[in-house]
Amino acid sequence: METINEDLALLLSINDDIATIKDTESLFLTIFEKLYGFYGIKILGVALLDKNKENLGFIIGKIDLPKRILDSTLWFQTVPINSIPVESHLANSKLIHLDAKYLTAMQNQNDKQSFGNFLEGININTFILIPMNTGGELIGYLILSSEEYSTNHKDDDYSLKIANLIGSAISNVKAYEELQSKDKEKEMQINLLVDLVTIKDRDALLVKLANEINRLIPCEYVALYAQKSETNYSSSFTLIKDNTDSFKIIPSSRNLTLALLSLKSKVKGKEGENNIEIAGELFDKLCDQFSHIKQMKDKYSINSFLVLQIAYENLGELNLILGRSNPFLWMHKKEMIDLAFSQNVNTFFAIKEVELGMHLLPQLGLVLSNFYAFEEIQILTNKLEQEKNFLLDEINLTNNFLEIIGESSAIQNSLSKVRQVAPLDATVLILGETGTGKELIAKAVHNLSKRKENTFITVNCAALPSQLIESELFGHEKGSFTGAIEKRIGKFEIANGGTIFLDEIGELPLEIQSKLLRVIQEKEFERVGGKNIIYSDVRIVAATNRNLDKEVAEGKFRADLFFRLNVFPISVPPLRERSEDIPLLVKYFTDKYSKKIGKEVKSIGKSDLDMLMQYNWPGNIRELEHITERAIIVSEGTNLNFQKLLGGNLKETIPDPHSFKTLKQIEKEHILDALKIAKGKITGENSASTFLGINGKTLGSKMRKLGIKRQIVIS
pLDDT beyond 80 at 126? no
Within-domain flag for 562: yes
Q: Tell me what percent of the residues of the chain surpass a pLDDT of 90.
A: 9
Q: How far apart are CA 161 and CA 468, in angstroms?
A: 81
- The three-state secondary structure class of 236 is strand
Under 8 Å between Cβ of 54 and 86: no
In eight-state DSSP terms, residue 222 is: E
User: Over 530-546, what HEC string results?
Assistant: CCCEEECCCEEEEEECC
Report yes or no on 398 lying in a domain: no
Kindly state whether residue 35 falls inside one of the protein's structural domains.
yes
399: pLDDT strictly greater than 50: no
For residue 389, tell me if it sits in a domain: no
Q: Give the helix ranges, DSSP H, for 199-225.
A: 202-216
Query: What CATH number does the domain containing 628 carry?
Result: 1.10.8.60
Are residue 415 and residue 558 in the same domain, yes or no?
A: yes
The verdict on 27 and 84 lying in the same domain is yes
pLDDT in tens, 12-64: 777 766 667 776 767 777 777 777 766 666 667 788 887 777 777 777 776 66
**Residue 180 belongs to some domain of the structure:** no
Structural domain count, the chain:
5
Q: Is residue 263 part of a domain?
A: yes
Question: Are residues 597 and 547 both part of a single domain?
Answer: no
Range of the domain at 608: 577-646
Residue 469 scores a pLDDT above 90: no
pLDDT at res. 400: 39
Residue 56, domain CATH: 3.30.450.40
Q: Is 20 helix (H, G, I), strand (E, B) or coil?
A: coil
Query: At 481, which CATH number?
Result: 3.40.50.300
The pLDDT value recorded for residue 655 is 61
pLDDT at 328 over 70: no
Whether residue 253 sits in one domain with residue 132: no
- H-helix segments, 347-490: 351-398, 409-421, 438-447, 466-474
Q: Is it the case that residue 412 has pLDDT exceeding 60?
A: yes
- At 315 the pLDDT is 58
Mean pLDDT, the chain, whole residue set: 76
Instruction: Please tell me the predicted confidence (pLDDT) of residue 568.
Output: 94
**Mind listing the pLDDT tens digit for each residue in 149-167?**
665 555 777 778 878 887 8
The answer as to whether 359 is a domain residue is yes
- Kindly report the three-state secondary structure assignment for every residue of 584-645: HHHHHHHHHHHHHHCCCCCEECHHHHHHHHHCCCCCHHHHHHHHHHHHHHHCCCCEECCHHH
Inside any domain, residue 478: yes
**Secondary structure class of 323 (helix, strand, coil):** strand
Please report which confidence band the pLDDT of residue 402 belongs to, taking 50, 70 and 90 as the band edges.
very low
Q: Quick one: 12 and 142 in the same domain? A: yes
Residues 369, 411, single domain; the answer is no
The reported pLDDT for the residue numbered 432 is 92
The count of other CB atoms within 10 Å of the CB of residue 119 is 26
Q: What percent of the chain has pLDDT over 70?
A: 70
Pair 110, 49 in one domain: yes
Residue 512 Cα distances to 139, 469, 517, 521, angstroms: 70, 8, 9, 14
Record the pTM: 0.43
Residue 255 has pLDDT above 70, yes or no: no
pLDDT given at position 500 = 93
Same domain for 336 and 261, yes or no, is yes
Burial of 509 per CB tally in 10 Å (0-12, 13-18, 19+): middle
Residue 111 has pLDDT above 60, yes or no: no
Task: State the Cα–Cα distance between residues 13 and 59, nearest whole angstrom.
Answer: 24
Which run of H or E residues covers position 291?
A: helix 291-300
What integer pLDDT is reported at residue 383 of this predicted model? 57
Same domain, 209 and 342: yes
Nearest of 543, 567, 580 to residue 412 by alpha carbon: 580
Residue 414 pLDDT > 70, yes or no?
yes
pLDDT of residue 329: 41
Predicted confidence at residue 289, as pLDDT, reads: 79
| pLDDT one-digit tens code per residue, 622-671 | 889 998 888 888 887 778 878 777 654 444 555 666 667 888 888 888 88
Instruction: Quote the CA–CA distance of 148 and 127 in Å, as a whole number.
Output: 9
| Cβ contact 564:541 at 8 Å | no
Asked whether residue 559 falls in the same domain as residue 586, the answer is: no
Residues 217 and 304 in one domain: yes
Give the pLDDT band (50/70/90) at residue 438: very high
Neighbours of 655 (CB within 10 A): 8
pLDDT at 264: 58
Alpha carbon 224 to its chain centroid, in Å, reads: 20
Q: What is the pLDDT of residues 601-617, one digit of tens each?
A: 767 888 888 888 888 88
Which CATH number belongs to the domain containing residue 355 in this structure? Answer: 3.30.450
Closest Cα to residue 235, out of 358, 317, 357, 324?
Answer: 317
Report helix, strand or coil for 313: coil
Same domain, 295 and 217: yes
